[in-house]
Amino acid sequence: MLNGKLHGKGIGPIPVYGRWDGTRLRGEARWPRQSLLAFQTLIPADLGFIVRGGNIYAQAAFSAARGQGLRAGGHWVVKNAGMWLKNGNVGGVDFVLPWRLQERTWQLGVRSPVQLRIKTVNGLFDMDNVSADLQGFYPPTEIQPLTLSNVNVDMLDGKLRLNKLQLPQKQAAVLNFNKLSVSKLFDVLKVKQLAMSGKISGELPVLLNDNQWIIQQGWIANDGDLTLRLDKDTVDSIGKNDLTAGVAMDWLRYLEISRSKAYVTLDNLGILVLQSEINGVNPVVDKKREVRLNYRHEENIFQLWRSLRFGSNLEEWLEKNISAGS
């Protein structure tokens, strides 16, 4: 008979029971509901995470025998967790993890998927009603894949959704966004030379194991009317240096856009290319004369993330796992 308790640094105790029947060891562990505050001592100080609430409980069963190895299964549940981050906070986190371990393979989500639900994330982008489901095997294989689904986020007054990401990846995972606020996006990106207002929607096919692309043949379009305003000092400075360019820029000081579409590519070195077509009018100059603008923008997205203090861990993961290709 095996009878004991696991504990450490305020975590636990977790009662463990087991029995050896001559050929097989069977047992189980039950983790009673406990405050997540006990986990603060396990979080490295340089991460800047401070747990501020929530509870956890879990249960597991296991068996071991010659020729079988270790088999185990159970579930973890986190309810209403919250924490302070370096640049924001997370609240209302619910996490359910059903799992099974057999022959050195983890099955995540057995009868039902792993579920993550977050009410609010306040940071660079404020996000609400975050959801994600995960089900499958780790390490993933062709026969036993791992699938991320039901990814939904409310942000920038609109919605973002990822249809399905399966590993190993056989087809692009399509990231859809609907009616995102351009003005709020520009505020986050701290764009000073121009201002825009209105809504945009689009689709970005995401590839994780392509030799060249992360996003190929993505698109973004206006969802209703847009307005564009250029910074006065920027327009005036261009006009002083180039009279012809200055005349053209006068048409763009204020532009009411009826149609816009941008085509997006992102390679695995982080180079983002945006090729856009814009149709609109400037009612101040001539409300009957249509303005057509073709615009191309190129930028290294990894460097942009650094400047925004966003996702250094994500950036490192992308650079290590995608830039090298497959």
Model confidence pLDDT, tens digit, residues 16-54: 999 999 899 999 999 999 999 998 888 888 888 899 999
Give the phi and the psi of residue 294 in degrees, each rounded to 5: -110, 125
Q: Which residues does residue 97 pair with via DSSP β-bridges, in sequence order? A: 76
Average of per-residue pLDDT values in the chain? 87
- Asked whether residue 84 falls in the same domain as residue 194, the answer is no
Question: pLDDT band at residue 308, thresholds of 50, 70 and 90?
Answer: low
Q: What end-to-end distance do the CA atoms of the chain give, in Å?
A: 50
- Asked whether residue 95 falls in the same domain as residue 49, the answer is yes
Q: What is the 3-state secondary structure (H, E, C) of 230-264?
A: ECHHHHHHHHHHCHHHHHHHHCCCEEEEEEEEEEE
Q: How far apart are CA 72 and CA 203, in angstroms?
A: 41
Percent of the chain predicted with pLDDT > 90: 58
Instruction: Please identify which residue in the block is written with the tokens 């590993």.
Output: 167
- Asked whether residue 212 falls in the same domain as residue 113, the answer is no
Residue 36 contacts residue 81 (beta carbons within 8 Å) = yes
The string of DSSP letters for 55-108 reads EEEEEEEEEEETTTEEEEEEEEEEEEEEEEETTEEEEEEEEEEEEEEETTEEEE
**Domain C-terminal end among 138, 155, 172:** 155
- The predicted pLDDT at position 99 comes to 97
**Domain C-terminal end among 118, 140, 155:** 155
- Asked whether residue 131 falls in the same domain as residue 164, the answer is no
Q: How far apart are CA 163 and CA 237, in angstroms?
A: 45
Burial tier of 21 (Cβ tally within 10 Å: 0-12, 13-18, 19+)? exposed
Report, as an integer, the average pLDDT of 160-180: 94
- Asked whether residue 146 falls in the same domain as residue 197, the answer is no
- Asked whether residue 97 falls in the same domain as residue 168, the answer is no
Whether residue 235 is predicted with pLDDT greater than 80 in this model: the reply is no
- Asked whether residue 165 falls in the same domain as residue 145, the answer is no
Report, as an integer, the average pLDDT of 219-225: 94
- Asked whether residue 82 falls in the same domain as residue 188, the answer is no
Give residue-wise pLDDT tens across range 60-98: 999 999 888 899 999 999 999 999 988 889 999 999 999
Domain extent for 211: 159-325
Question: pLDDT band at residue 248, thresholds of 50, 70 and 90?
Answer: low
- The predicted pLDDT at position 102 comes to 93
- Asked whether residue 168 falls in the same domain as residue 139, the answer is no
Report, as an integer, the average pLDDT of 109-130: 93
Number of domains in the chain: 2
- Asked whether residue 94 falls in the same domain as residue 174, the answer is no
**Domain C-terminal end among 155, 172, 207:** 155
Residue 120 contacts residue 90 (beta carbons within 8 Å) = yes
- Asked whether residue 136 falls in the same domain as residue 185, the answer is no
- Asked whether residue 147 falls in the same domain as residue 175, the answer is no
Instruction: Please identify which residue in the block is written with the tokens 């450490």.
Output: 8
Question: pLDDT band at residue 252, thresholds of 50, 70 and 90?
Answer: confident
Q: How far apart are CA 22 and CA 72, in angstroms?
A: 19
